[in-house]
Amino acid sequence: MKAVLGLEDGSYVHGEGFGAEGVAKGELVFSTQMTGYMEALSDPSYHGQILMFTFPTIGIYGVDLDNLQSSRVWATACVTRSLQEGPRQGLSLMKYYEDQGLSGLTGVDTRMLTIKTRVEGTLRAALIVGSDDAAQAIEAAKSQPALSDRDLIEDVTCPAPYRIPGTGKRVAVIDLGMKQAMIRSLVQRNADLHIYPAGSSADEVTACRPDAVFITNGPGDPERARGAIRTVKGLIGQVPIFGICMGIQICGLALGGRTYKLKFGHRGSNQPVRYKDGSIFITTQNHGYAVEAGSLPEGCSVSYTNVNDGTLEGFEERDLDIHCVQFHPEAHGGPRDTEVHFFDAMFQVIA
């Protein structure tokens, strides 16, 4: 099918559309991962974004439904240099996109688009499948609200509290758009999980008498998650708190710190971080916002730093039992170097 991707700066590229005809809008972001494309596309943190892969070919091993990170694809659209038909047996990515009414673009210069994003910063974009009208695509890109002006968490959080029983420590989870790999990492450690929607109050969360509170990843600007910030403020000092991805941003804001939008974010499975003891870990990441390290109050100490750009990748406040990381230690797909480092340490704290 004809297809065109328009950007808010007035540029555009034509390519071949796949999936369903229509218009898909969102920020154009890139991921450097070489595998795990279905895990990325189904990550709720990509809600409101068009996901472009820098690896030149995706679709090689088809669609692995067992490793989806949620029940659906959340990325608004998929952009790739080349789309493969996939294995002879099993579901191909192209067929999956057709069946699910999703939109994708292939046959474009993703290297050029990635360099443009790194130079100019993240841009709003619109993909039209079934048409090559560049002017319409550019106008659709320009007319959409910025990601920071959108409330996205209500779309991805659980609609009501629920429980996943376990024989170990009781963990209350504030669901801002949780990946399934996080649940697996907690369940593997026998956690008794009580999972709450993003808008739950501190009293609702502590009603289950948790041994710890865990705050998940999620989409959009963390400053828009006002309910979660208010809830965490009410939990500080009452119970140990742990956060991943947006979870660290919510904790930072609840402590009185500040967050800011990165120029083009960190997305992929090859991000190096330096731990406070000097050791280096390779991590999977997916975030466009970060905590401003210098804004954190006295008592907070930096535990991880990004080797590439020096941004904050983790902090802790030991007196209040707050421990957070910006990267994804559960990392599916991607390296799991830090899974034990984070989750085992978490359960040692609450032992």
Distance CA 70, CA 156 (A): 9
User: What is the helix (H) or strand (E) element at residue 18, kind and residue range?
Assistant: strand 12-19
pLDDT in the model for residue 335: 81
Distance CA 239, CA 261 (A): 29
- Condensed to tens digits (0 to 9), the pLDDT of residues 260-273 reads 999 999 999 999 99
Q: Can you read off the two tokens belonging to residue 309?
A: 């750009």
CATH of domain 2-144: 3.50.30.20
Q: Percent of the chain, pLDDT > 70? A: 100
- Condensed to tens digits (0 to 9), the pLDDT of residues 169-179 reads 999 999 999 99
- Strands of 133-221 (E only): list them: 162-164, 170-175, 192-197, 212-215
- Condensed to tens digits (0 to 9), the pLDDT of residues 119-168 reads 999 999 999 999 999 999 999 999 999 999 999 999 999 999 999 999 99
In a 13 Å sphere around the CA of 5, the CA atoms on its Cβ side amount to 29
pLDDT in the model for residue 340: 86
Is 330 annotated in the active site? yes
Is 328 annotated in the active site? yes
Is 14 annotated in the active site? no
Looking at domain 153-349, which of 2.60.40.10, 3.40.50.880, 3.30.420.40, 3.40.50.1370 is its CATH number?
3.40.50.880
Stretch(es) of the chain classified as CATH 3.50.30.20: 2-144
In Å, the largest CA–CA distance within the chain is 60
pLDDT in the model for residue 234: 98
- Condensed to tens digits (0 to 9), the pLDDT of residues 43-89 reads 999 999 999 999 999 999 999 899 899 999 999 999 999 999 888 78
pLDDT in the model for residue 232: 98
């865990």: which residue's tokens?
214
Q: Give the pTM.
A: 0.96
Q: Percent of the chain, pLDDT > 90? A: 94
Residues 6+ apart with CB under 8 A from 122: 27, 28, 29, 261, 263, 264, 265, 288
Distance CA 254, CA 315 (A): 13
The identity of residue 43, as a single letter, is: D
User: What is the helix (H) or strand (E) element at residue 312, kind and residue range?
Assistant: strand 312-317
How crowded is residue 188: how many other Cβ atoms within 10 Å of its Cβ? Answer: 12
The pLDDT of 333-350, averaged and rounded, is: 88
């808010």: which residue's tokens?
8
pLDDT in the model for residue 140: 98
- Active-site residue (options: 78, 245, 251, 300): 245
Stretch(es) of the chain classified as CATH 3.40.50.880: 153-349
